[in-house]
Amino acid sequence: MTSEKFFKNNTALITLIAACLVVLISLSVRQVFGMFFMDFNIDLGISNTEFGLAIGVQMLGWGLSGPIFGAIADKYGGHKAITLAFIFYILGVYFLFAGPNTGIYFQMSLGVLIGIGCGGTAISIPMSIVGKHFPLSNRTIAMSIVTAVGSFGYFLSPLFTQYSLNSNGWVQTLIYFMIFLMAGLVIAFFVRSPSSRESLETSNDQSTLSALKEAFQNKSYILLVAGFFVCGFHITLVGTHVPKYVIDRGLDSWTAAMILSLIGFFNIFGSLLSGYMSTKMSKKIILSGIYLLRGVSICLFIFTPPSTISSIIFGASFGFLWLSTVPATSGIVAHIFGTKYLGLLYGLVFLSHQIGSFFGAYLGGLFYDLYGSYDYAWYLAIALSIFAGLIHLPIKEQAVERLQKA
């Protein structure tokens, strides 16, 4: 008895490697903008609310452009969608330090342009393209590899950013980011969608409109969309506001960097384990457990006395749960509807994630400016954990009738 080959062809191998590098670069830059707040506050006069709004707009831009880049990738090829997105990303970082960078211009650069750039480079599009190269038996594992490698960028980037901010200042640090993004622009060329000969899915003539109608008439898809809103709220609240939160509690800026770095490091293992477990057990049960455990992690963090130990525990535990939702969520979408329109359909699920991200970023800053603390944002995050833990349970993990007849 021979085992099934993991890589069906060289294109699958090259695409997986290139997609991993693209996500690593994109998320490495995106993850650490919260660490720039103190510099932006001092040098540019940016308030908590303005900064939270910019990150919120970035999340919305990421989410709204995701389905568009997904449709481009599905129709014209993944490399074209990702290359276009990197151009927006580079322009956003460039204008953030070189052009007018206060008021509406701050929102345009950090918010709109970088958000659009993330829409085609960070997680959803590269991962959906990878998913097209792998059969159901290996798909979630391949997707989890992309997420895990991106998490390695999460691990390294906060350490590098904190060092560079201290040694070189925020302008030079953004220049380094531009260099990284230009490297990603080159690598994007190798993230190729499978050709008709390499495709693993039975060809069908389903239209884009028909695919959208089929998805939104499916109750399980609607529940998945609603649940992923919570994921976005959680990770953007933490990624954007934890740096200031720990400083307000009497800890230093390196503690904030350590938390973000630990999140990235432990997310490697969480993502891989989630991808593996998704091949062995119900993906909806995995998702429900992740969201409920996030609530426990937040409770321990905010209700225990501030210390380096509690920060380490939070960084490790929340990191293990950070992007472990992604392989299971995308795996359910691919299993129910197939991979032909995976970029578009997962992009729409991710749009819900980014709407949640907008509220996580904006409400965190707004609550702080209104009440002088992040407490109400944390309480809302805990309540949403319970909501998401419950809402995934009714999902039916079965292919639509169209695929069952194929």
Nearest-angstrom CA–CA distance, 356 and 291: 14
Sorted by sequence, the CB contacts under 8 Å of residue 3 that are 6+ apart come out as none
84 or 339, which is more confident:
84
Output the pLDDT for position 9.
77
d(CA 101, CA 113): 13
Minimal CA–CA distance to 26: which of 131, 148, 141, 114?
114
Helix, strand, coil % in the chain, rounded to nearest 5: 80, 0, 20
Output the pLDDT for position 271.
84
Ramachandran region of residue 201, left (φ > 0), alpha (ψ -120 to 50) or beta? beta
Side chain identity at residue 383, one-letter code: A
Q: What is the pLDDT of residue 2?
A: 43
pLDDT at residue 395, as a whole number: 94
Give me the residue spans of the domains in the chain: 13-196+207-405
- Residue 377 per-residue DSSP state: H
- Comparing 277 with 347, which gets the higher pLDDT? 277
Number of CB atoms found within 10 A of residue 252's CB? 11
Pairwise pLDDT comparison (72 vs 257), residue with the higher score:
72
Rounded distance between C-alpha atoms, residue 349 and residue 77, angstroms: 20
Cα–Cα distance between 334 and 286 in angstroms, integer?
16
Cα–Cα distance, 66 to 122 (Å, whole number) = 9
pLDDT class of 404 with cuts at 50, 70, 90 = low
> What topology does CATH give the domain 13-196+207-405?
Growth Hormone; Chain: A; (1.20.1250)
pLDDT at 147: 81
Cα dihedral across residues 111, 114, 120, 122: positive or negative = negative
For residues 293-311, give the mean pLDDT.
94
For the stretch 161-183, pLDDT in tens is: 989 999 999 999 999 999 999 99
* DSSP of 5-63: PS-SSHHHHHHHHHHHHHHHHHHHHHHTGGGGHHHHHHHH---HHHHHHHHHHHHHHHH
Q: Residues 75-104: what's their mean pLDDT?
A: 92
Average pLDDT of the residues in 319-334: 88
Among 137-146, 192-201, 256-265, 273-282, which stretch is predicted with the lowest mean pLDDT? Answer: 192-201
Could you tell me the two tokens for 186? 């080159």
* Total H helices, total E strands in the chain: 18, 0
Pairwise pLDDT comparison (311 vs 401), residue with the higher score: 311
The two tokens of residue 320 are 């293990």
**Considering only 120-124, 149-153, 215-219, 301-305, which range has the smallest mean pLDDT?**
149-153
CA dihedral angle for residue 225, residue 145, residue 259, residue 48, rounded to 10 degrees: -40
What is the C-alpha to C-alpha distance for residues 272 and 280, in angstroms, rounded to an integer? 13
Can you give the pLDDT at residue 302? 93
pTM of the model: 0.78
* Mean pLDDT, residues 117-130 taken together: 88
Confidence band, pLDDT 50/70/90 cuts, at residue 257: confident
Question: How much is the pLDDT for 136?
Answer: 74
